[in-house]
Structure 1
């Protein structure tokens, strides 16, 4: 960064949220500097499951009940369009991103889950969404898996290569005039003289009229209390060797993404080169060896017994952020300093769509642009003990999932 650099907007974090905010802010006419602590694509935005799923964890009627008719309807409409935001952005900028849009299947492993999907289908169908319930035979044919009692198909969803997407977002943002700095985390942020002044670990400095902190699960102490308001989880994933022709034809023959209905769910998709990629929750600490992915490999052969013995070529993981209420949070602890976090497994669509709204808010200053109310940062009590608590909860949920039929 050049000495004395001053911009309209500083974006801290170069994942989906930060890059989308930067790109859309440039399109709104703002000058933008983006600072990434590591390398673009090294965090969960480049290392996630590649599923582009619209909606939130809660169904429309729950959101209307919680937020009221006006704000609830705004949130529902926003959530319904998050997948569109991704695919439209890719097309508009002719991004080189392997992708498909055949939909997402939520596969039910119990009658209780099937009833919940029936209710979800009723609510989204009433809103004209392209969704459908699947019977046991249909879900078996579409997934190639055994053991599911049925499922729910959301045709609005799709899949992307997440690393290609985050790299293309960075390319387009840079070509549109965003100044991008990598491998240099912001170490201090203070407001003085009507501007926000940021200093990086290397000693570089930038002044900005407004700041968006888009660090999500990688939040540190830059915004007081933000890290303590989130539960970071590790998403572990594996990818097989390219499947032999007979398995390639039988597993996900129509290209949908899938998540199951378990408490500790697994999710999977086919890659463009014919591999099966599957992910799920992993240990809270950093992995030490290939054995730390063994629970995913066991899940893979449970869902697809025919994959027993198929070589695993790749193993990776990323960190994701969950909020206690399972909703994304937007905060503005001081005027001109905005942060948002909490993907809840919908990060690709949610963060890219939310970045567009944050960019407009930075440019226009109208809170009605935002799909959620700005709320105070609320640190989680006993947050320092979260790893023990989360590990215990995951073990308990795995036990319950194993007992269910």
Structure 2
């Protein structure tokens, strides 16, 4: 794929190290973490801070996957609201999940503060924009539930959302001030830097190809012939999961998320577009999400084709959405185009698995991976230290491949096309 079709707007911080692909020498590690994204690095950092010996192995380069390519929206919560979680998980476990979900954004901004990460960020909230009466009723219900728990949230009417976004076509929405935005590539690289400083060994371009267990110790073999020994293994590959753990890749539906960034906006145009620096996601079936970048560009993303892009036309749906919302941007050049993967599960919840003692896997960020995986990483580290499953916010579940998984991708692609057409009728 030409480099022009993988050109994110995000920047590596000047403090980013050039990893020497360090491998632990001899002995038995406390944990090997497969995948150097936000989930893997968060787990590694917190586990190392607790005194564990940790090795991170990544098949590519740190920041190359979804953790460095996402929209940088730090959104608390899950796809479901408190009342649904209480109904489906029971009062005790439901309350645990609600408390966890409420604090996922805190996990990001707390580590930026506590570890002094060089990460551009703004914490002025996230807006869920409603384009239909039905979506507005949903927003009102969500507002009621979180407000009753003391969350700093606000229901927006048409005038309110117009003033905060400057966008066309919304009836109202919901503002969650717990949320914010970051540069995701800086965040991922900085997590790697401080993890390495805490003693974590990080090796790029080391693909793990085999896991075996002998006498209670895991042997982790890489494509290059390296073998490491460890008490535990954590698979943190999410949407990039392969066949390393049989059946795991068939439990998720990986989707491509395409993004564009304009040239830096002229001051007179920028003044009325997201003046408070919030992130926005809308209520369409095939939602779009957008924000301003630290250097003053407009960044917008949405679900794209399942095949790899072959020309700028593959981002045309993003450009149409941008101009629909902000007609004044029609003359502004699109300077950056890129894409990454997200992982969905059928129930829209993260799945935690431990098919054998000491072999852990986490999949399913549902498009909220920055906050969710940062917070899950800390809990996973606590589990590695204590062995107490109560440290985990989600129950450990068996691996259950999606029936007819090979056909699921075709069905998802057809659904995206159908939903996009329905969305067009609701303009």
What residue is the counterpart of 1:231 in the other structure? 253
CA contact (8 A) 1:3 1:204 kept: no
What residue is the counterpart of 1:390 in the other structure? 412
What residue is the counterpart of 1:341 in the other structure? 363
1:114-164 CA-to-partner distances (Å, cap 9, x unmatched) read 000000000000000000000101100100101100000000000000000
Counterpart-to-counterpart distance in 2, 1:387 and 1:358: 30
Counterpart-to-counterpart distance in 2, 1:44 and 1:3: 30
- Residue correspondence of structure 1 range 3-402 to structure 2 within 5 A: 4-402=26-424
Counterpart-to-counterpart distance in 2, 1:403 and 1:311: 27
Q: Partner of 1:45: helix, strand, or coil?
A: helix
Q: Which runs of 5+ in 1 are unaligned?
A: none
- Per the TM alignment, residue 387 of structure 1 is displaced from its structure 2 partner at its CA by 2.1
Q: Partner of 2:61: helix, strand, or coil?
A: coil
Counterpart-to-counterpart distance in 1, 2:282 and 2:401: 31
CA contact (8 A) 2:24 2:55 kept: no
Q: Partner of 2:68: helix, strand, or coil?
A: coil
Aligned residues: 405
Counterpart-to-counterpart distance in 2, 1:210 and 1:248: 50
Q: Partner of 1:46: helix, strand, or coil?
A: helix
CA contact (8 A) 1:5 1:205 kept: no
- Per the TM alignment, residue 404 of structure 1 is displaced from its structure 2 partner at its CA by 2.3
- Say if 1:113 and 1:245 are closer, same or farther in 2 by CA, change over 3 A: same
Q: Partner of 1:250: helix, strand, or coil?
A: coil
CA contact (8 A) 2:44 2:195 kept: yes
- Per the TM alignment, residue 386 of structure 1 is displaced from its structure 2 partner at its CA by 2.3
CA contact (8 A) 2:24 2:201 kept: no
Using the size of structure 1 for normalisation, the TM-score is 0.99
Counterpart-to-counterpart distance in 2, 1:202 and 1:289: 34
Q: Partner of 1:139: helix, strand, or coil?
A: helix
- Per the TM alignment, residue 5 of structure 1 is displaced from its structure 2 partner at its CA by 4.5
Counterpart-to-counterpart distance in 1, 2:335 and 2:153: 34
- Per the TM alignment, residue 286 of structure 1 is displaced from its structure 2 partner at its CA by 0.9
- Per the TM alignment, residue 4 of structure 1 is displaced from its structure 2 partner at its CA by 3.4
CA contact (8 A) 1:3 1:205 kept: no
- Say if 1:277 and 1:103 are closer, same or farther in 2 by CA, change over 3 A: same
Stretches of 4+ moved more than 3 A in 1?
2-5
- Per the TM alignment, residue 223 of structure 1 is displaced from its structure 2 partner at its CA by 1.0
CA contact (8 A) 1:53 1:346 kept: yes
